[in-house]
Amino acid sequence: MNTLILRRHWRAFAGIAEMTPKFFLAYRAWVWLAFFSQGLSMTIFLFFWRAVYENTDQIGGLNLDQTLTYVLLAQVISLSVWTNVVSNMGHMVREGQIGVEFLRPIDFQWAQYLGGISQLAISLLLNLPLLGLALLYGAQLPTDVRVWIAFLVSLFLGYTVIFLFDWCIACLVFYTTEVWGLMVFLTGVSAFFSGVLIPLVMMPTWLQTIAAALPFSQVVFVPVGLLSGTIPLTEAPARWLTQLIWVIGLAIVSRICFQIASRKVTVQGG
Amino acid sequence: MTHYLSLYGLFLRQRFKILMEYRMNFLIGATSTIILQGASLLTITVVMSQIPHLNGWTLEAIFLIYGLITLAKSINHMFADNLWTIGGQYIRTGMFDRFLVRPVDPLFHLLADRFCHDGIGNFLVGSALVAYAWHALAIPLTVFNLIYLIVMVISGGLIFIALNLITAVSAFWVIESVPVTRAIFDNHLFAQYPLTIYPQAIGILLTWVIPYGFASFYPASYLLGQEVGLLAFLSPIVAIVLLSLSYRFWRFGLRHYAGTGS
């Protein structure tokens, strides 16, 4: 019995493992382009920050090496951390696929979440070449194993926060079917407040307060901050606790939203 | 020429009829870029507020450079966006063959087919940045300067269009040309900042190979009274040379086009 399940799982994983290189080859040009584009922005960041530090030793308590480490790692990691929950849900509602999902004997939200987590892991692995570029440009990786653990835990929790937040937003598609405008708006807000562009500690206090009230920083600034040393290791437990509170709060809200919204569902023809 | 102009007017009127059917999408499309640009501009402002200058450039001077490249980009975005979609939307579907049997230039038809309203957002952002920087830096508001600005922005737009055209021609062979176009296009991001912050090789690249520098850095330097010599006036010539080269390459590609059979 156990071996049977194990074998079945093994076959599923082997299938996925086989798919990945195929996917890579089929979209070769696009994959190279993604690397190229990201490498180009990292190059601009490198020279921009070098020019910034010509006139000063410290900004927001960070020196050039610390800032470069943070910014370059943020560029690599932030490629993987955003979910496509909202566009998926929109697609499923428009196509009528959502009805089928409701019939399945597994919890819809859990299934989507686990899919998202595995996508996160694959995407992080695929973007490893960019980590090489970041190191070449002067990013420094920690040698302390505890820092890596702190990073991975906070990345996992942060992803969960964003997944649940996006789930709440996705519930709106049951009412409007078109949330493109909202998505664009949120992309802009998250670009500024997540910490993809600068370490949030460089912002004036009032902007940092707004950033803390929004969920986006949990998935970029907190994990990348821990990995780059911008946030000291001793703060890790407090950060995890904050993330956990976000997770619990948003988990409850997202379940309620979905309960209410899914009653509203009218599949359009399908 | 007048024939083509009136034809373009007709295309534009039809396009706006479609866009007005979906007013909300029109507004969102036009404003989406404003929000995204806002994030980068706020970031630059936050960083610049903590240092006296960036390699000798003040925040307002950087806004001028950033504004000029954004204006040039918006011209390309509004009037030549179909150079992005030629592979997927026209060649793969066989729609492009339609243009070949019509009594107008196929390139004209391709560009006129879709005015892209998403570019309006960048046009507004660019105009606001240039206007603000112009005022803050007390650049004299003379007739000569205004004409200079307009000529430089149009030249910059044409440089964008020419580079996208050269790369879009690859669609005649590989169908999907977006990765190639994007790989060249993305280099304009360098030209959002003063070229002096980069190593010399990047400066040369952005001046003589992928000349986006003529859309932002050199005109801005001239307006700020920096010594850049003849390069301050070279943009229109670069644009015309590049455009005629890319049009020739387009004709060459067109002769080799055999259709996809779909």
* Host domain of residue B169: 2-256
**Total domains present in chain B:** 1
Helices A2-26 & A28-52, crossing angle to 10 degrees? 80
B187 inside 8 A of chain A by CB: yes
Query: B135 near B129, Cβ under 8 Å?
Result: no
Residue B177, pLDDT > 60, answer yes
Residues whose CB falls within 8 Å of the CB of residue A162, separated by 6 or more in sequence, listed in order: A81, A82, A83, A215, A216, A218, A219
Query: A201 near A54, Cβ under 8 Å?
Result: no
Interface test with A, best of B23, B32, B40, B178 (most A CBs within 10 A): B32
A50 inside 8 A of chain B by CB: yes
What does the pLDDT average to over B94-110? 91
Confidence of residue A172 (pLDDT cuts 50, 70, 90): confident
A205 inside 8 A of chain B by CB: no
- Angle, alpha carbons A28-A29-A32 (nearest 5°): 85
Residue A146, pLDDT > 50, answer yes
**Alpha-carbon gap, residue A161 to A156, rounded angstroms:** 9
- Angle, alpha carbons A124-A125-A126 (nearest 5°): 95
Q: Which comes out higher in pLDDT, residue A84 or B241?
A: B241
Neighbours of B258 (CB within 10 A): 7
Distance in Å, alpha carbon of B186 to nearest chain A alpha carbon: 7
Residue B261 belongs to a domain: no
pLDDT single digits (tens) A179-238: 777 788 888 899 899 999 999 999 999 999 999 999 999 999 999 999 999 999 999 999
Residue B123 belongs to a domain: yes
| Owner of token pair 């911008």 | A230
- Token pair of B70, please? 């954004």
**Alpha-carbon gap, residue B202 to B199, rounded angstroms:** 6
Give the pLDDT of residue B15: 87
Confidence of residue A253 (pLDDT cuts 50, 70, 90): very high
Residue B187 belongs to a domain: yes
Cα–Cα distance list, B18 to B13, B14, B26, B115 (Å): 9, 7, 10, 11
Give the pLDDT of residue A166: 94
Say whether B32 and A41 touch across the interface (CB within 8 A). no
Q: Choose the weakest-confidence range: A70-74, B32-36, B149-153.
A: B32-36
Residue B262 belongs to a domain: no
- Token pair of A68, please? 């470069």
Query: A76 near A153, Cβ under 8 Å?
Result: no
Residues whose CB falls within 8 Å of the CB of residue A223, separated by 6 or more in sequence, listed in order: A77, A151, A154, A155, A158
Confidence of residue A158 (pLDDT cuts 50, 70, 90): very high
Examine the predicted complex and report whether its ipTM is higher than 0.85: yes
pLDDT single digits (tens) B249-259: 999 999 988 77
Residue B78 belongs to a domain: yes
Q: What are phi and psi of B216, to 5 degrees?
A: -140, -60
Residue A270, pLDDT > 50, answer no
Give the pLDDT of residue B3: 87
The H or E element containing residue A62 is none
Give the pLDDT of residue A23: 56
**Percentage of chain B modeled with pLDDT above 70:** 99
A17 inside 8 A of chain B by CB: no
- Token pair of A181, please? 């405008």
| Residue type, position B77, single letter | H
Give the pLDDT of residue B83: 95
Say whether B53 and A181 touch across the interface (CB within 8 A). no
* H-assigned helices in A53-140: 64-77, 85-95, 97-103, 108-126, 128-136
What does the pLDDT average to over B126-133? 97
**Alpha-carbon gap, residue B223 to B140, rounded angstroms:** 9
The H or E element containing residue B137 is none
Residue A25, pLDDT > 50, answer yes
Say whether A192 and B42 touch across the interface (CB within 8 A). yes
What is the average pLDDT value for chain B, to the nearest integer? 92
Q: Choose the weakest-confidence range: A82-86, A265-269, B159-163.
A: A265-269
Neighbours of A135 (CB within 10 A): 15
Confidence of residue B82 (pLDDT cuts 50, 70, 90): very high
**Alpha-carbon gap, residue B155 to B160, rounded angstroms:** 9
DSSP symbol at A220:
T
Cα–Cα distance list, A234 to A140, A226, A230, A231 (Å): 19, 10, 12, 8
CA B10 to chain centre: 23
Residue B122 belongs to a domain: yes
Residue A21, pLDDT > 60, answer no
- Token pair of A46, please? 């490198």
A252 inside 8 A of chain B by CB: no
Q: Which of B32, B43, B50 sits opposite A59 (nearest CB)?
A: B50
B32 inside 8 A of chain A by CB: yes
What is the average pLDDT value for chain A, to the nearest integer? 88
Say whether A36 and B186 touch across the interface (CB within 8 A). yes
A187 inside 8 A of chain B by CB: yes
A56 inside 8 A of chain B by CB: yes
Say whether A55 and B52 touch across the interface (CB within 8 A). yes
Cα–Cα distance list, B172 to A172, B92, B104, B167, B177 (Å): 42, 10, 19, 10, 9
**Alpha-carbon gap, residue A198 to B97, rounded angstroms:** 48
Residue B101 belongs to a domain: yes
